[in-house]
Amino acid sequence: MNEANARRPGRPASQPGDQLGKREKILDVAEDVFAEHGYAPTSLRSIAKRASVNPALIAYYFDSKERLFEEVFKRRGTQIARRWHELLDALEARPGSTPSVEELLRAYLTAEFEMKLSGAAGQSFVRLQARVHDETDAMHFRLRREVYDEATQRYLAALERALPNVDPADIYWRMMFIIGAFLYMMSGV
């Protein structure tokens, strides 16, 4: 056996491609459990049990509960943010017309509806997303900023162009209200 292929102590034995499958299974299960219970009450042991893996395997792939949570959130959160950019790019690429408020809000909310309607995983993520927006600790705040701020800032700027006579602070707070109401509605509470 050559040294590059040798299994080091603590590394799980596997077939090619099996590790990716287990890692994805852990992410899928963790997404469901975090969406169901939230970050604080969820244990790595409960995720491992539901995923039918050894808890050490979760530590091997993700190092900690916080890193696992970050990967779970960023995996689909970045899909939504990319979709927001795509939809806004399409609106702004039209020659000769500034997108209307209705068009901007429809584009923003479309990405969320698409995620919710994409299946059970999308539904879990939307519930998780609502939980993340409800939390006030530093980790959740940082994740929201890292994943969503750039796209949200673009939408706020577009809304300011569509509403030139409205104070930007009012636009910001109206957008935050829309996001909060939408997440509450979509979370299935």
Looking from the CA of 112 toward its CB, the CA atoms found within 13 Å total 21
Q: Dihedral (C-alpha) 118, 119, 123, 128: value to the nearest 10 degrees?
A: -80
CA distance readout (Å), 16 to 9, 11, 12: 18, 14, 12
How confident is the prediction along the chain (189 residues), in pLDDT tens digits per residue?
444 445 445 555 555 555 668 999 999 999 999 999 999 999 999 999 999 999 999 999 999 999 999 999 999 999 999 999 999 999 999 998 899 999 999 999 999 999 999 999 999 999 999 888 888 889 999 999 999 999 999 999 999 999 999 999 999 999 999 988 888 887 765
Report the run of H or E that residue 137 belongs to, with start and end. Answer: none
Contact (CB, 8 A) for 155 and 88: yes
Q: Which tokens is 43 given? A: 């244990």
